[in-house]
Amino acid sequence: MRRLGPFVFEPRLSPPRYIVFGVSVLAVVVALLAAAPVFLGYGQNPWQAYAAIGRGIFGSWPSFSEVLRRAIPLILCGVGLTLAFRAQFWNIGAEGQLLAGAVAATGVALFLRVPEGLRLPLMFLFGFLAGAFWGLIPALLRVKLGVNDVISTLMLNYVMAYIVEWLVHGPWKGPTMRGFAYTDAFPLAARLSFLPATRVHWVTLVLGVVMAVLIALLLARTRLGYEIRVVGQNPDAARYAGINFTVVLSLVMILSGGLAGLAGVGEVAGIHWRLRSPSHISMNYGYTAIIVAWLARGNPLAAIFTALLFGLFFAAGDYMKTTLGLPFQITGVFNGLILFFLIGFDLLMFWRVRLARKEGAWISQAGS
Amino acid sequence: MDFASWLISTVSRALAFGVPLLWGTLGEIYAERAGVVNLGVEGMMILGAFMAFAVSQSTGHPGLGLFCAALIGGVAALLHAFVTVTIRANQYVSGLALSMFGLGLAGLLGRGWEGKPLGNTLPTLTIPGLSRIPVLGPMLFQDQTILTYLGIFLAVVLWLLLFRTRWGLAIRSVGENPSTADSLGINVTLVRYLCVFFGGLLAGVGGGYLSVAYRPAWTEGMTAGMGWIVIALTIFAAWDPLQALWGAFFFGALYHLSYRLQAYLAPELLKLMPYLFAIVVLAISGLGGARWRRRAPGALGLPYVRGER
């Protein structure tokens, strides 16, 4: 308990849902306000810019569908990260796990001899496995050797990005692609179909939503989910209860990395139809998914909606670039700001503000 | 090329490439010794790199550029300090936010400066007398900038400050056990703010070095993950400024070799080497087991609330 002027701040252990929601909305709104000077710097009125973006994106189904398209990888990565964060495993590596999935999918699409009907399912399967493998490494490193998970997952992002660069410049460079660092284009059987009049590869979208539901059920209804939550909330109790950290964290990261891997499959099979430089395949989806998961407060179902919100920001970034002539980097600034305000405003969630009653009334309590 | 001249140039370049890592790591060691993890090093370094380039290019003074780089690194670090020390928010997330913000902002501000070479770079020194010693002279006393020697000097001074003075004791006790430090009359909040700010200053200089000396130009994302290597080096150095020297120059050598060995291996595979080694190095120190981990400051990553426990 602390006093500030006429106000008393009381700690609140578990804030009610409407407060959590309200504070999260507030953080996003304040970040939008804080980003306003950037528009002024480019000689644009921020309110007119925001309004133009809103009209541009919500004006028609094809332009709105871009929000969905951008949200697909964010849903898959974001849901995976909620799981990892619930276990207090700092998976900052969704970016690399996504690329691992893209690599595996490309391998299946271009080089594996399978019946055409099996090609896409196998791409998703191997994409999941590749992402899972890339996620499992830091889990084992942490459990067995105490390697910091933030560092190992981040470093593996760079390692995988350079592996992709190497593949598209070297062994997998498409003979028909001449000067470009691309693989050959995927055969038709390895491409995902779109919703009409859009670029929304709906199979991946459905997969993302289904995965969100499954992960939510896993967390809430299963023994493994319970163990994950204990490991995250009270590692000492988990150790005391004999929960096997190696098994729990390995499974968490297999799922978390695997989901990011699926996102990578969706990007190459649904958007690019080839493997190309990592910055084109993932526009920092893996890093943005950290904010998606954080804003969702570790709830996989909420991550669907926060992913849609960030899909909107990405679509807004595209719109700003093409129509308003503003640089896409604004989205990066904006993402950082949102994350800052989100954790900054947590304070509001866990403290209840009241008017102080009498002067002395609280002193005795404060001392106890 | 014979072995001697190969060795000379490798050591000389390892020193030069290690400088940004050394400055960043020394700063992060101080922040973490006071109990605050700052994952924003990448963001502070890239802001420093942009600032140093922009100021040097406009004024013609790389020294002034580095000064401004330090300032912007420090200001960015104060943001982190406010969020983690005053608001007591999660240090990991705040640091990540700072890195995202810094990378985005530097990319945004730097759009007009992209790809132009710097007119006035930081001069390299040839130390009279010493540079004429055979082998050692060209290895250590030629073609280095002042920041190489200043960084080594700083490592020694910071080690002395940390382990041989009352101030150092105060910093370490704040990182080890803030409530005890508080009860002894040490201002925990002030110490943490100062250490995080100091870390930001050094990270800013490290980033500035990249754009005014190491590769005198501005490109978006030119820090390329060096800030994260710094975090790994801090652990690898066991939070000891003198050990940071070896770590930084070892990784400097790795960065250099990733250019040097391109005749033998694909450049992309060489470039991933420092990142892979960062994991390997931490895994090796993990083999040292609990002994190594015990060296971490006891209250690292934990916000301090007076009166709790």
Mean pLDDT for the stretch of residues B280-304: 78
- Alpha-carbon Rg of chain A, whole angstroms? 23
CB within 8 Å of chain A, chain B residues 47-106: 79, 83, 87-90, 92-94, 96-105
Q: How far is CA A297 from the centre of its chain?
A: 12
Interface membership of A1 toward B (CB under 8 Å): no
* DSSP state at residue A174: -
* Binary contact (A147, B92; C-beta < 8 A): no
> Cβ(B247)–Cβ(B236) under 8 Å?
yes
- Residue among A146, A332, A343 whose CB faces B100 most closely: A332
* Binary contact (B111, A151; C-beta < 8 A): no
Tens digit of pLDDT per residue, chain A (368 long)?
666 677 777 777 777 888 888 888 888 899 888 888 888 888 888 888 888 889 989 988 988 999 999 999 999 999 999 999 999 999 999 999 999 999 999 999 999 989 989 999 999 999 999 999 999 999 999 999 989 899 999 999 999 999 999 999 988 988 776 778 889 899 999 999 998 888 899 999 999 999 999 999 999 999 999 999 999 999 899 999 999 999 999 999 999 999 999 999 999 999 999 999 998 999 889 999 999 999 898 999 999 999 999 999 999 888 888 888 888 888 888 888 888 888 888 777 777 777 766 554 444 444 33
Q: Residue A366 has what pLDDT?
A: 42
Q: Give the total number of structural domains in chain A.
A: 1
Q: Residue B139 has what pLDDT?
A: 77
Ordered alpha helix ranges (H), chain A: 17-34, 36-41, 46-58, 61-86, 94-111, 116-145, 149-169, 202-221, 223-233, 235-240, 245-267, 278-281, 285-295, 300-319, 330-350, 361-367
Rounded to an integer, what distance in angstroms lies between the CA atom of residue A314 and that of residue A80? 20
Residue A150 lies in a domain: yes
- Residue among B92, B101, B107 whose CB faces A340 most closely: B101
Of A254, A332, A251, the C-alpha closest to A287 is: A332
Residue A353 lies in a domain: no
- Residue among B266, B286, B289 whose CB faces A166 most closely: B266
End-to-end CA distance of chain A: 11
Task: List CB contacts of A190: < 8 A, sequence separation 6 or more.
Answer: A105, A108, A109, A110, A119, A120, A123, A269, A273
Residue A46 lies in a domain: no
CB within 8 Å of chain A, chain B residues 152-211: none
Residue A168 lies in a domain: yes
What is the residue whose two structure tokens read 């810094």? B102
User: What's the token pair of residue B84?
Assistant: 């983690």
Residue A303 lies in a domain: yes
Task: State pTM to two decimals.
Answer: 0.91
pLDDT tens digits, one per residue of B50-91? 999 999 989 989 999 999 999 999 999 999 999 999 888 889
CATH number of B9-293: 1.10.3470
Banded model confidence at residue B211, pLDDT cuts 50, 70, 90: very high
Of A208, A204, A182, the C-alpha closest to A195 is: A204
Ordered alpha helix ranges (H), B110-219: 136-140, 146-164, 166-176, 178-183, 188-209
Which residues in chain B have their CB less than 8 angstroms from residue A334's CB? 104
| pLDDT surpasses 80 at B268 | yes
Q: What is the mean pLDDT of chain B?
A: 89
If you measure CA to CA, which chain A residue comes closest to B220? A329
Mean pLDDT for the stretch of residues B9-21: 91
pLDDT tens digits, one per residue of B134-146? 777 777 887 788 8
Strand partners, A354: A8
Out of A63-72, B237-246, B286-295, least confident range: B286-295
Show the domain range for A157.
71-310
Exposure of A350 by Cβ count < 10 A (0-12 exposed, 13-18 middle, 19+ buried)?
Answer: middle
- Best of A154, A163, A275 to disrupt the B interface by mutation (most B CBs within 10 Å)? A154
Task: Report the half-sphere exposure of B129 (CA within 13 A, side-chain side).
Answer: 0
- Best of A276, A340, A350, A368 to disrupt the B interface by mutation (most B CBs within 10 Å)? A340
User: What's the token pair of residue A330?
Assistant: 């604004």
Which residues in chain A have their CB less than 8 angstroms from residue B99's CB? 336
End-to-end CA distance of chain B: 64
SS3 content of chain B, % helix, strand, coil (to 5): 75, 5, 25
Q: What is the ipTM of this complex?
A: 0.90
